[in-house]
């Protein structure tokens, strides 16, 4: 896995060469600093740790400050490891240019949290469509969840109301529409998980 860390800026649209209006997500991809280089001899595997987005030192604990000081940089908010990035040294800066030859990317982030939701919003239940047979308060209810004498319990995994969103979601094979290296911006076709300002892991 080789890639970069970024932040979701929002959505826009661009016109393709055929004149079609293509919806795009704008991502601030990098610059990321190499904050640690892991090796097989020392750590048991090869990987590079990247840090993204500055964090105030007064909001950082001392081990964090010392860790980032080794790389000659300020504390970072988002940190992640990539196993297929090679040839970089501690303190190197990686920018969006590494994606200039890629056409498709996988992007993961944390989806928007929606709190406690019912089964219609959470699982797409249809509910009761018509007010018939005296039903007055069962329009968006889940219905029966278990049998009586056997098995006398509710099976695990039953789709019910509960906390929705706030999960790690990965979107596969998003097409790269445009790269703006001077602004560290990456435009991909379609939507990516999370709110504006949410952190993303971009993999190729």
pTM score, whole prediction:
0.84
Q: How far is CA 194 from the centre of its chain?
A: 6
How far apart (Å, rounded) are the C-alpha atoms in residues 142 and 120? 8
How far apart (Å, rounded) are the C-alpha atoms in residues 8 and 198? 5
Q: Nearest CA to 3 among 103, 90, 74, 106? A: 106
Angle, CA of 196, 202 and 204, to the nearest 5°: 150
pLDDT tens track for 42-89 = 989 889 999 998 999 899 999 999 999 998 999 999 999 998 877 888
pLDDT tens track for 154-169 = 999 999 999 999 999 9
Please name the residues in contact with 158: beta carbons below 8 A apart, sequence gap of 6 or more: 145, 146
Domains defined along the chain, listed by start: 3-112+169-203 (2.40.30.10)
């Amino acid at each position: 896995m080789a890639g970069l860390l970024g932040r979701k800026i929002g959505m826009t649209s661009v016109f393709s060469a055929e004149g079609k209006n293509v919806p795009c997500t704008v991502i601030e991809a990098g610059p990321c600093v190499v904050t640690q280089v892991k090796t097989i001899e020392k750590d048991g595997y090869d990987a590079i740790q990247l840090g993204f987005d500055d964090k105030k030192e007064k909001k950082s604990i001392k081990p964090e400050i010392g860790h980032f000081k080794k790389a000659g940089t300020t504390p970072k908010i988002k940190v992640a490891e990539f196993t297929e990035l090679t040839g970089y040294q501690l303190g190197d800066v990686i920018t969006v240019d590494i994606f200039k030859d890629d056409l498709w990317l996988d992007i993961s982030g944390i989806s928007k949290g929606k709190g406690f939701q019912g089964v219609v919003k959470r699982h797409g239940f249809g509910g009761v469509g018509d007010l018939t047979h005296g039903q007055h308060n069962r329009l968006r209810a889940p219905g029966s969840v278990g049998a009586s004498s056997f098995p006398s319990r509710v099976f695990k995994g039953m789709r019910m109301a509960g906390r929705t969103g706030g999960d790690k979601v990965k979107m596969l094979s998003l097409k790269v529409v445009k790269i703006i290296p001077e602004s560290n911006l990456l435009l991909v076709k379609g939507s990516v998980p999370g709110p504006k300002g949410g952190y993303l892991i971009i993999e190729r």
